Amino acid sequence: MPFTLANAVTLVLIATGSTFASSVLYAGRRAVGQSMPDACTSAPQLSCQNTTTATNTCCTPTPGGLLVHTQFWDTYTGLESEGQILPKNNWTIHGLWPDNCDGTFESYCDFSRQYDERPSPATINGKKVPPYSGPSVDTFITDFGRSDLMRFMKKFWVSQGSTNAHFWAHEFSKHGTCFSTFDKKCYSDYKEHEDVINFFDTVSRTFLKYPTYTWLEQAQIVPSNSTTYKLSDIEAALREGSGATPYLGCKGKRLSEVWYYSHAKGQVQDVDFVPVGTITNSKCPNDGIQYPVNSTRFKVHRYILARASPVLRDMLELPQPRRESTSVGALFNTGIADVPLFNLDGSVAGWEHILALFYRDELFEHIEYTPVQWTEILPIANKYGMTQIEQKGIQVLHQSSAGLEPVDLLLLAREISATELYDQAIAILAVGPMLTGEKARQIGFEGFYKVMLKKHMQWRTDNLYHFPMQAGDLISDGVDLHW
- The number of beta carbons lying within 10 Å of the beta carbon of residue 397 is 23
Q: What is the DSSP secondary structure assignment for residue 403, as one 8-state letter?
A: T
The C-alpha angle with vertex 79 and arms to 74 and 82, in degrees rounded to 5, equals 140
Residue 170 annotated to the active site: no
The residues pairing with 12 across neighbouring beta strands, listed in sequence order, are 297, 343
* DSSP letter string, 325-339: --SHHHHHHH-STT-
* Residue 169, C-beta contacts closer than 8 angstroms, at least 6 positions apart: 115, 116, 117, 132, 136, 137
Q: Which of 234, 239, 292 is nearest to 261 (CA)?
A: 239
Q: Which of 160, 168, 164 is nearest to 115 (CA)?
A: 168
Q: Are 175 and 158 within 8 A, CB to CB?
A: no
Q: Which of 197, 187, 205 is nearest to 36 (CA)?
A: 187
Residue 255, Cβ density class (10 Å: 0-12 exposed, 13-18 middle, ≥19 buried): buried
Q: Is 274 helix (H, G, I), strand (E, B) or coil?
A: strand
Residue 171 annotated to the active site: yes
Q: Are 181 and 57 within 8 A, CB to CB?
A: yes
Q: Is 310 helix (H, G, I), strand (E, B) or coil?
A: helix
Distance of alpha carbon 265 from alpha carbon 65, whole angstroms: 10
Distance of alpha carbon 161 from alpha carbon 330, whole angstroms: 9
- The catalytic residue among 69, 94, 170, 353 is 94
Distance of alpha carbon 224 from alpha carbon 289, whole angstroms: 11
Residue 69 annotated to the active site: no
Distance of alpha carbon 6 from alpha carbon 153, whole angstroms: 34
Q: What is the DSSP secondary structure assignment for residue 69, as one 8-state letter?
A: E
- The catalytic residue among 170, 175, 193, 301 is 175
Q: Are 161 and 328 within 8 A, CB to CB?
A: yes
Q: Which of 339, 298, 225 is nearest to 78 (CA)?
A: 298
One-letter amino acid for residue 89 of the chain? N
- The catalytic residue among 171, 235, 257, 376 is 171
121 preceded by cis ω (within 30°)?
Answer: yes
Strand order in the sheet with 341-344: 295-301, 8-14, 341-344
Q: Which of 368, 348, 346 is nearest to 357 (CA)?
A: 368
Active site residues per annotation: 94, 171, 175
